Structure 1
């Protein structure tokens, strides 16, 4: 049995213990990319997305009524994309600097961001299913493609997006990370730095088990419902559409096939790189990696996520302005805006030009409205 005299305390000193505080990886490359992508590239995406989707909404609000199932879907896609790009600057600001707006805005903004992300991709799947019914199942399309059904489907899509975003609303919090509170020890006492608190809007968990489950479940849900399900529906529907159009053997139909291929190709090109990166990150989430590898992964995630954001700017071009009717309505919007600025200079001439364009646009719209669709097919 040992007693106190059996221990050697002669050379013991507090300074012999190595108190090394290890913080998170600095990720310098990713931070350098974010400083370029965040303020500049995302600003371009926001401007293009606001203009393009705003024109689609303005067209439906002032020039065109929602007469078909496709119109309802296009309007809802434009609303989802518009809300998405409107929240993007604040999300980028939080990722680069501190979150200044408090806990309520943190939850609402992050949650609405998730809702718009899910609803946008799910509505694109609905558009492809609607095109399938209109072209492949043309005999039954008048019975299945009603405004009542389209509105009910849109309500279901927004409800599903809200339900899928509940964990985001719940787990995102406004707090000060522990690694931002630097503390230094001197001979007399611990002195904390007097720097102002650095608050962030990020995931916060009460225990490790919840953190493990949530950090795997949320990316998995985003991959399944936000990418693979819409991609599967689009590939199946547009494959059947392309086969049907190719059998028609007309120039207009072959042009429509190219539009179909462009829609699928742009969706895959924009979303596949980010979702592949997200899948890899989720699969290796709880494995310890060197800081250099972690930096490369986060850099790839930043770049591919920006590419995915770009899709909301291309939706108005692919789904709306590619059609004859939308192009005519777009011309009317541009002319009306020009006339609004010149109405005090030459009001008679402006009124006459607008009337002529309006009549010609109405004739072409009426002629192209025989198929009841705003999508060029």
Structure 2
């Protein structure tokens, strides 16, 4: 086996000695300081409220579910996990990842799992709508066992999302970055980011850390390429085909409600593209130019654009409940029952003597209405 000095000489041959120090990326850091504490906080609050309401509605007020309902419930769970993990990521970034490497892996891995599962569930929703509307006559047998099939599909989606996130769980670590020194803890293993001469001036980060150069070169291309291919372009193609067919089918039917459904479909597609296309274009450009020598100004600009477009992509978790749930008449009716029940319970405890009998009757009545409504229709909330 070669000694550590041999590996060090290989590293020096691989990289030129003329490489300068890292870019400071001042504009990127300024934008991040503005986005993370303020914009991301608003996204977390709105996303948390919206997705919790969706989960409560499906869990307690809609007992009979279609395939789309099950997909929407799972997508709300994925979005909720994301908005819970995001503030923990921001906190750790400001506290030098004080929670350690294990939390670093779990939070970044959870973000990756939720990204893939959310995007794949959007593709499942569009496919189910395509079958229900375009292939309505031939889909009766399939949709008669909707609950079983939807649970199987959701299980496969979560399993695939976890599988695609394995590199994130493996290679994300908390460490102190260094650009000037190279050390080798044991022969055959490169530590590309290690302790600098003055640890007090460098803050720990939670980023990818690879055991050798070959793995780093492969993974730095494979991970973002997989994210773009399966996390964006595949759902976009499925949504494009399905919703185009749906619009063509709906336009053949006269009536205001059908044309209103067409506008909802267009809004879903437009919002999806507006939220995710800019970030994926920036990510694609970053992947293509990753191994090219670039000016620090260009690197700073690219990372600034990625930070802004990534925040725009985060907005989609807030808009999903509105687009896929609250626009539906049936879902709004169930949500209205939640508000009525909470209002009646509040009146019951605030003024128990005066309103106890009235609020009790209203609460029982509204609960019965919600249970009856949930058992009479198993169609999707959204159309």
Hey, what's the Cα distance between the residues in 2 that align with 1:194 and 1:177?
9
Offset of residue 193 of structure 1: 4.4
Distance 1:248 1:34 in 2: 49
Query: Gaps spanning 5+ residues in structure 1: where?
Result: 1-18, 182-190
Q: In structure 1, what is the equivalent of residue 81 of structure 2?
A: 83
For 1:198, the equivalent position in structure 2 comes to 203
Q: Which moved more, 1:96-105 or 1:71-80?
A: 96-105
TM-score (norm 2): 0.85
Q: Matched residues in 1 for 2:304 and 2:94: separation?
A: 14
2:178 aligned with 1:169: no
- Alignment match, 1:248: 253
8 Å CA contact 1:321–1:327 kept in 2: the answer is yes
Task: Report what 1:39 is aligned to.
Answer: 37
CA contact (8 A) 2:55 2:76 kept: yes
For residues 132 and 110 of structure 1, what CA distance do their matches in structure 2 show?
34
Residue-by-residue CA offset, 1:167-186 (whole Å, 9 max, x unaligned): 111111121112499xxxxx
Given candidates 274, 277, 282, the residue that maps to 1:277 is 282
Q: Deviations over 1:117-172 (max 9, x none)?
A: 00000000000000000000001222122211111111111111111111111111
Structure 1, residues 7-49: CA drift from partner, whole Å, max 9, x if none? xxxxxxxxxxxx9995421111111111111001000000111
Alignment match of 2:359 (pick from 350, 372, 375): 350
Give the equivalent residue in structure 2 for 1:372: 379
Q: TM-score, normalised by structure 1?
A: 0.86
1:348 and 1:327 map into 2 onto residues whose CA distance is: 27
Could you say which residue in structure 2 is the equivalent of 1:123?
Answer: 121
SS at match of 1:173: strand
Aligned length, in residue pairs: 347
Question: Deviation per CA, 1:252-311, whole angstroms, max 9, x where unpaired?
Answer: 110100001011001000000000110111111111111111111111100100000000
Task: Choose from 298, 302, 315 the match for 2:303.
Answer: 298
Q: 1:208 to 1:355 in 2, by over 3 A?
A: same
In structure 1, the residue corresponding to 2:139 is in which secondary structure?
helix
Supply the distance in 1 between the matched residues of 2:94 and 2:303 (Cα, whole angstroms).
14
Tell which deviates more after alignment, 88-97 or 223-232.
88-97
Aligned to 1:260: 265
State how far apart, in whole Å, the 1-side matches of 2:260 and 2:222 are: 42
Task: Give the corresponding residue for 1:178.
Answer: 178
Structure 1 residues 286 and 67 mapped into 2: Cα distance closer, same or farther (>3 Å)? same
CA distance in 2, matches of 1:343, 1:196: 59
After TM superposition, give the deviation of residue 341 of structure 1 in Å: 2.7
Which structure 2 segments of 5+ residues have no match?
Answer: 1-16, 182-195
Distance, in Å, in 1 between the alignment partners of 2:344 and 2:36 is 36
CA distance in structure 2 between the aligned counterparts of 1:323 and 1:132, rounded to whole angstroms? 17
Q: Would the aligned equivalents of 2:62 and 2:374 in 1 still touch at CA under 8 Å?
A: no
Flag the structure with larger Rg.
Answer: 1
How far apart, CA to CA, are the structure 1 residues paired with 2:358 and 2:344?
Answer: 9
Q: 2-side partners of 1:372 and 1:192: how far apart? A: 64
Match of 2:329 in 1: 324
The alpha carbon displacement at 1:326 in A equals 1.0
Gap change, CA 1:135 and 1:96, over 3 Å in 2: same
In 1: Cα distance, 2:18 partner to 2:344 partner: 69
Residue 218 (structure 2) pairs with residue 213 (structure 1): yes
Alpha-carbon RMSD:
2.4
Aligned to 1:3: none
User: Which secondary structure does the structure 2 equivalent of 1:177 belong to?
Assistant: coil
The separation in 1 between residues aligned to 2:61 and 2:113, in whole angstroms, is 28
Kindly indicate whether the alpha-carbon contact (under 8 Å) linking 1:277 and 1:300 is maintained by their aligned counterparts in 2. Answer: yes
Shift of 1:89: 1.2
The residue matched to 2:206 in structure 1 has which SS? Answer: strand
Q: CA deviation at 1:365?
A: 6.4
User: Alignment partner of 1:157: what SS?
Assistant: helix
Alignment partner, residue 222 of structure 1: 227
Do 1:273 and 1:304's aligned partners in 2 also have CA atoms closer than 8 Å? yes
1:181-207 Cα offsets, whole Å, 9 max, x none, are 9xxxxxxxxx96473873221100122
SS in structure 1 at match of 2:339: helix
Give the 3-state SS of the residue equivalent to 1:138 in structure 2.
coil
